[in-house]
Amino acid sequence: MPDRPPETDTRTRVLDAAERIVQQQGVPALTLAAAAREAGVSKGGLLYHFASKEALLRGMIERLTDNIRGQFEATLASVPEGTGRVARAVIAWQFATECHEAEDAERSAAILLAAHHHFPELLEPVRLFTDDIRARLRADGLKPGRGLAVMAACDGLFMNHVFGMYRPDAADLAALHETLLSLLEPA
C-alpha cells in the first residue's frame, strides 16, 4: 500500500479555511457556517474546536503569532552576536518577507484586520510580541531610537506592501535596505 500523507487535523483545516475566507472574500464573509463549509466539516465539528467566532479568531491570531515569532527567532538565530543584532534581525526578517513571502504578508494582514474588526482585544498576543521586540531593540546597544526607527520603517514597509500603497521595486528595496543598515553603524 503506498504511503499517504497524514490527513490534516480538523482544527488546522478550519483555521486554514477561515484564513482563506478572510483573504479572498473579506472580513464580513467570515462566519462559523462559512468556515465549516470551506473546511469541509460539519458545523458541529467546527464547534468542537471553536465554540464561537471569537474563539475562531483567537485561534487564528494565536497561530499567526506563533508563526511570526518562530520566523523572527529563526532569523535572529542566524544573525551574528553584537551591537544591533536584534535590529539586523528585524531588517533581515522584513526584507525576506517583503521579497519572498508576499502571500504570507497578505494572509497575516487579513487575519489582523478580521480580529481588529470583530474583537480588537484578541490582538493582545501580537501586541505582546511586538512589545517584546521593541524592548529587545532598546537593549540592543544602539544609540537611542535607532532600533525603534528600523522597526517603524519595516512595519511601514509591510503595511504599504499589504495594502498595495507602495510596492518598491528592486532598486528601491536595495536603497531602503542599505539605509536601514546604515542606522546600525557606529556614529
pLDDT digits (tens, 9 = 90+) for 19-51: 999 888 888 899 999 999 999 999 999 999 999
pLDDT digits (tens, 9 = 90+) for 106-140: 777 778 878 888 888 989 999 999 999 999 999 99
Cα–Cα distance measured from residue 177 to residue 168, given in angstroms and rounded to the nearest whole number? 11
The confidence band for 97, taking pLDDT boundaries of 50, 70 and 90, is low
Q: Which three cell numbers stand for residue 182?
A: 546604515
Cα–Cα distance measured from residue 149 to residue 4, given in angstroms and rounded to the nearest whole number? 49
What pLDDT is stored for residue 180 in this prediction? 96
Mean pLDDT across the chain, nearest whole number? Answer: 88
Q: Is the pLDDT of residue 158 over 90?
A: no
Helix axes 53-77, 124-138, angle to 10 degrees: 20
Mean pLDDT computed over 86-90: 97
Q: Is the pLDDT of residue 182 over 50?
A: yes
Q: Is the pLDDT of residue 174 over 90?
A: yes
Cα–Cα distance measured from residue 35 to residue 16, given in angstroms and rounded to the nearest whole number? 9
Cα–Cα distance measured from residue 142 to residue 87, given in angstroms and rounded to the nearest whole number? 9
Cα–Cα distance measured from residue 14 to residue 32, given in angstroms and rounded to the nearest whole number? 9
